[in-house]
């Protein structure tokens, strides 16, 4: 369970770092995607996890929210958002933190794919919240 918590903290820290750095190399997200991206925070704020314990309902809500967001994306970004959605739904369906941790340990490629998708997702999101100068 400790590894699972560390994984979540590292993902959040990485996300925060990438969100505030320049998004070089990523494709520009569509205005439709950006509008939905900016709504995600509002949608998830009503589904906040309780405490630091494993919360399957919250993880599944994150997965469903990301699935809906993916519908407004295209190309690699759509694939990345769907990868993240599947990851959250899968972890949420494991029943408890111990099972989720066992799953992650037995499927390291799942975590690698997720990590790559998070980087691209946050880069695109940073472009949505950073004003462009044209």
108 pLDDT band, cuts 50/70/90, is confident
In the chain the first and final C-alpha atoms are separated, in Å, by 47
Tell me if 91 is assigned to some domain: yes
Tell me if 106 is assigned to some domain: yes
Domains identified in the chain, total number: 1
Tell me if 113 is assigned to some domain: yes
Show the tokens assigned to 123: 């880069």
Tell me if 22 is assigned to some domain: yes
Q: For the segment 64-75, what is each residue's pLDDT rounded down to a tens digit? A: 999 999 999 999
CB atoms within 10 A of CB 68: 15
Tell me if 96 is assigned to some domain: yes
Give the residue numbers spanning the domain of 74.
2-129
The pTM is what?
Answer: 0.73
Handedness of CA 80, 2, 100, 56 (dihedral sign): negative
What pLDDT is attached to residue 26? 55
Alpha carbons within 13 angstroms on the beta-carbon side of residue 99 total 10
Tell me if 134 is assigned to some domain: no
Residues 6+ apart with CB under 8 A from 89: 59, 60, 63, 64, 67
């Amino acid at each position: 369970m400790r590894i699972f918590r560390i994984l979540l903290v590292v993902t959040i820290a990485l996300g925060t770092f990438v969100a505030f750095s320049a998004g070089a190399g990523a494709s520009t997200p569509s205005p439709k995607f950006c509008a939905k991206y900016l709504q995600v925070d509002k949608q998830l704020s009503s589904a906040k996890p309780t405490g630091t314990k494993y919360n399957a309902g919250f993880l599944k809500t994150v997965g469903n929210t990301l699935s809906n967001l993916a519908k407004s994306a295209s190309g690699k970004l759509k694939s990345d958002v769907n990868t993240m959605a599947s990851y959250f739904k899968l972890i949420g369906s494991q029943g408890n933190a111990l099972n989720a941790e066992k799953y992650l340990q037995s499927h390291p490629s799942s975590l690698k794919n997720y990590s790559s998708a998070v980087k691209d997702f946050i880069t695109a999101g940073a472009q949505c919240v950073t004003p462009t100068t044209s």
